[in-house]
Structure 1
């Protein structure tokens, strides 16, 4: 397994990322509907959802692959954000601010790397 990226495990962890994302978005929508939570907090909530949705699967990915946690986590974070960005462009037709997208991509990669580093050290 040396010097190879395990794409099958990466895809499984990416799927887990999006399952976590959908679940947390559903919970957020319920909170918006039934509590006094304001929509002005959505930017912060969306960032928290993205961080959790990358961090936890990055740890699992590193535990499963058992090497190069930072690299595998980085890849998971980058792929997650690119897929998320493409989804927004295709289905929501949102205009994308390049600087904002690059910043979020860097954040996604950083969070993935940190999750991978922590995951590799949990064994």
Structure 2
């Protein structure tokens, strides 16, 4: 990637992270009034991750206008690393297991497909 593509990638990651924070704040308000199961929490986190990666990737690819799949993979990787580092800082004990690897691979797939979608919109 050339130098001019780094700024849109940074903007895409920032936008996807902000979208995640907004979704989490809304979900936190809902959780104060309603008792939700662990399965519901897991589904919500997965959907939030997918939508955030899609939004950030499509935004960045529309600005760059080339190499959509590569941009999507880069954004998904950096987004997931940010999420994992914030989770570690927050005190969660993260272990590398099958579930974590599946989420990471899903994020890469969503990023690549969103990048292709962003080029063709």
Provide TM-score, normalisation by structure 2. Answer: 0.89
Q: Equivalent residue for 2:117?
A: 118
Aligned pairs, number: 119
Structure 1 residue ranges, 4+ long, deviating more than 6 angstroms after superposition? none
What are the ranges of 5 or more consecutive residues in structure 1 without an aligned counterpart? none
Residue 92 of structure 1 aligns to a residue whose secondary structure is: coil
TM-superposed CA distance for 1:37, in Å, is 5.3
Is 17-26 or 81-90 further displaced after alignment? 81-90
Shift of 1:21: 0.2
TM-score, structure 1 length as denominator?
0.88
Q: Report 1:1-123 matches (<5 A).
A: 3-4=1-2, 6-34=5-33, 36=34, 38-40=36-38, 41-122=40-121
C-alpha separation in 1, matches of 2:30 and 2:73: 31
1:80-100, Cα deviation, whole Å (9 max, x unpaired) = 001111221232232323332
Q: CA RMSD in A?
A: 1.5
Unaligned 5+ residue runs, structure 2? none
